[in-house]
Each structure stands twice: as C-alpha cells, then as structure tokens.
C-alpha cells in the first residue's frame, strides 16, 4: 500500500514537471514576448493590432541555416575619409531647400496638419514600424525653447502655473528668512562663547563656521532664482511682461492647435489631460515622414518584401529636437547638432538586427544603388541600423554647399589608422562619379530610344 502511494506521488511529480517544462518551452520559443524596449513600442497604436503582432513575429522568427555567407558592406554604406561629410551632406540638403527642423511635438503636430509630414500606418504588407516612439512618455506636452522645456497651457492651466510659482516663491522666501534669523542667533551664540574675535559672516549673512547654514541658505537662494527664472519664462512666452492679453499669446494658440489636432487625428480623439492618450498621440506623431523620404522607404521595403516575404522593420522616422535630446541619454547614435537629420522628416532607420546575412547584404546592395543614383545618403550604423536620408529632388547637394556645412557638424574627427581608411569610402567624388555614370547611362539610353522611335517612324 505504501509502495503504491509512493509510486502515485512520483508519477504526479513527473507529470507536473513535464507540464511545467512544456509551458516554459512554449513561452520561451513560441510566444517570445518582447523585450522591455520592444514593449515600449507596443503602445496603443500597435498593441490592439493583430496584424502588427503577426508582422513583428515574422521579423523576429529564426532564419535557419544561411550557410557560409559573409557580410559584405559596400563602401557606400561606410564613413567617408572626412567623417563629417556624412552629416554635412544632410545639413546641406536642409540649407538647399531652407527647411525648418521640427523643434518639439507641437511643431510636429503643426507640420502634420499642414501636410508637410505624412503619418504612416504602424504596419503594411511591406514594412512595419518596429521601435518608433519606444522612448516616449505620457508627460504633458511642452514647448522646446532655448534648450529647455516650457509648459504648454490653456488659460486655466496658465493661471494655475502662475499660482504655483507664486506660492512656491513665498514659501521659499519664508524659509530663507527663518534660516537667516537662525544664522544670526548662531552667530551671537558663537560670539558669546568665543569672547575673542567676531566670527566671520559669509556674504549670505550666515555663520561661516559653526554650522552648515551657509550652504542651506545658498541652496535656497538658488531655488528662488530658478523660481524667478521660470516665472520670467512664462512672462516672456505667454506675453505677461508686456501687459498683453494672455489669450493672444503664441503658446496659448499652440495649445489650441494641439487640442484641435488631438480631437481628430487619424480618425481618433485624444484627451490631452490623460497620460496614456498623450503617450499614444506622441507615438502617432513620431510615425511621420516627408513624402520624398516615404517614397524611398516604400521602394526599399517593397524590394525587400518581394525578395524575402518579410516586412521591412523601420525603427525610427521623424524625431523632434526635443525628443532627440532626450533620446541621446540612452542612444549614443542620436545626433544633437543644430540640425539633426531626423528632425527634418527626411531620415529613417532600418533595423537589421534580426536579418540574416543574406538579407543584410541584399538591403545594403539596394541602398548602395540608391546612393549611387544620387537619391539618398546612407550609413550602416553599429547600433544595428541603416540610417537613410532622402534628397528631396533626387539629387545630392553640391560639394560647395557640403563643404560650407562641415563646421556646423562639429570639429574634424581624429585621423583613423590605415586599415580603417582602406575600408571607408575614399572620397565623396567617388560616389558622385558613380552617380554621373548612372545618370549618363540613363540619358544615353533615353536618346537611343528616341532615335529608334524616330527611325521607325520614317520607315513607316
């Protein structure tokens, strides 16, 4: 009887263990829930879309044995000898067409409303937005002014902001007054005890040595200064310093613009007072490009999909300067020059981390071809991205304009060793020469076709 009970217990343990192992295997190898960064991607525009999840799994699925294929990085996807030339080319394109980089989400919303930027769907047959807006939060919308964030308010919110600053200022002043009184008492006590020479007061009126009140007073004065600077910013940008009506200020109009867009964006309404809605709206806004860049994205995505039957993973599109600066804290490839390429709406990143070597080689060959044709600038970044920048008219800016933009992208990079130089693009002239050959070939082909048609017409 005892043996039978023991056997049953052992059998139960074995079955339970097998079931647990099966569940673990199913979770680990089949479902493969996204990582923390990918979970951030799956905000409202994606989480409720089964097509997006199916496409994501298609992007991430195992490729199997790809043989002994070697990675082949074309010279067109490497840095130039003058490393600044890559960024300077993009800055030159901005100058060429007098584009205004997008400063913040309010700027972005206005650009979308004017039709300068086109919102992209989260997933199509040929591409998937995979990582776009991964770092956005649900914080209130702000204006990015003078390298700092300025709260965006309606009239009620503006009154509340002023009231908070006034209350905080009064509390800080009272705390400072109390500390100074205590410092004077400390000084008197020290003077009585020492009965020698008068204890020195620091310039803040606090005791120099018997206590740390001098540091407390200095810290409080700094807080008061910050408070007054915040109020000055409100006065400056909400029109209070000149005595003008707050209802006519630019920032109040900006809030109204954003509110109007939020009421109907992509067929959906967003509540700007709700953190979840704000986060979702930011992701939608970041899912935008200028039409010339979208055309390039769709072309490379179709070629990739036709070849491998997978959607092309796109990890970044438009990024306002405000978001770019925040992203820089976690992404070393997020450029923070005066004209970051992604803030123009002409740049996008392709994520290659899940691609097989054959897929990477195919995409790089296609991108190299488009660069030789003079339609894009491109770089294979070590952060598992191909950075693509589209030229509006399909032509690279002139070398003179690029040279004039070099100083705007930073100091010259330290010279690399001979081995690294051998792998890089030799000069921009090499790319431009290839582009001329392609264009001449197209022109000759067109002339030949025209002559043939004329000859055939004469014979008729």
Rounded CA separation 268/124 (Å)? 19
Question: What is residue 142's three-state secondary structure?
Answer: strand
**How far, rounded to the nearest angstrom, does the alpha carbon of residue 386 sit from its chain's CA centroid?**
15
Contact 115, 288 (CB under 8 A): no
Rounded CA separation 68/89 (Å)? 36
Q: Does residue 40 surpass a pLDDT of 90?
A: no
pLDDT digits (tens, 9 = 90+) for 348-404: 999 999 999 999 999 999 999 999 999 999 999 988 999 999 999 999 999 999 999
The token duo for 165 is 């600053």
Helix (H) or strand (E) holding 315, with range, is: strand 312-316
The token duo for 120 is 């992209």
Residues 6+ apart with CB under 8 A from 452: none
Residue entry with tokens 């919303």: 109
Residue entry with tokens 């001098």: 214
Rounded CA separation 344/320 (Å)? 8
Rounded CA separation 202/190 (Å)? 15
Tell whether pTM > 0.75. no
Q: Is the dihedral of CA 191, 196, 202, 203 positive or negative?
A: positive
- The pLDDT value recorded for residue 256 is 87
Q: Best-predicted range by mean pLDDT among 316-330, 352-366, 444-458?
A: 352-366
């Amino acid at each position: 009887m005892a043996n039978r009970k023991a056997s049953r217990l052992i059998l139960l343990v074995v079955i339970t263990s097998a079931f647990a192992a099966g569940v673990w295997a199913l979770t680990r190898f089949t479902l493969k829930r996204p990582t923390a960064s990918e979970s951030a991607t799956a905000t409202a525009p994606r989480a409720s879309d089964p097509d997006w999840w199916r496409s994501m799994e298609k992007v991430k699925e195992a490729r199997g044995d790809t043989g002994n294929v070697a990675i082949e990085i074309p010279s067109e996807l490497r840095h130039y000898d003058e490393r600044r030339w890559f960024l300077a080319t993009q800055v030159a394109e901005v100058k060429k067409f007098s584009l205004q980089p997008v400063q913040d989400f309010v700027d972005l919303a206005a650009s979308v409303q004017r039709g300068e930027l086109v919102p992209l769907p989260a997933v199509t047959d040929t591409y998937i937005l995979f990582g776009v807006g991964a770092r956005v939060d649900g914080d209130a919308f702000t204006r990015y002014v003078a390298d700092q964030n300025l709260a965006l308010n309606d009239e009620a919110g503006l009154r509340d902001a002023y009231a908070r600053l006034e209350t905080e200022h009064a509390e800080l002043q009272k705390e400072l007054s109390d500390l100074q009184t205590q410092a004077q008492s400390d000084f008197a006590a020290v003077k009585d005890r020492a009965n020698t020479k008068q204890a020195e007061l620091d310039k803040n009126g606090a005791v120099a040595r018997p206590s740390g009140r001098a540091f407390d007073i200095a810290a409080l004065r700094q807080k008061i200064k910050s408070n007054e600077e915040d109020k000055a910013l409100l006065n400056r940008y909400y029109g209070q310093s000149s005595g003008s009506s707050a209802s006519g200020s630019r920032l109040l109009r900006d809030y109204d613009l954003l509110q109007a867009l939020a009421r109907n964006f992509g067929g959906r309404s967003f509540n700007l007072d709700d953190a979840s809605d704000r986060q979702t709206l930011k992701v939608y806004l970041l899912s935008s490009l200028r039409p010339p860049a979208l055309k390039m994205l769709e072309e490379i995505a179709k070629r990739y999909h036709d070849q491998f039957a997978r959607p092309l993973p796109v990890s970044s599109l438009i990024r306002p300067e405000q978001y770019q600066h925040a992203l820089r804290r976690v992404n070393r490839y997020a450029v923070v020059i005066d004209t970051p390429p992604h803030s123009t709406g002409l740049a996008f990143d392709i994520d290659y981390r899940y691609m097989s070597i054959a897929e990477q080689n195919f995409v790089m060959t296609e991108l190299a071809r488009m660069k030789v044709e003079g339609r894009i600038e491109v770089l294979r970044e070590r952060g598992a991205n191909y950075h693509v920048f589209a030229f509006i008219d399909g032509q690279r800016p002139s070398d003179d304009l690029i040279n004039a933009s070099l100083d705007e992208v930073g100091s010259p990079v330290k010279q690399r060793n001979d081995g690294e130089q051998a792998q890089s693009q030799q000069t921009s002239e090499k790319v431009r020469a290839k582009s001329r050959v392609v264009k001449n070939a197209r022109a000759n082909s067109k002339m030949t076709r025209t002559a043939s048609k004329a000859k055939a017409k004469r014979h008729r």
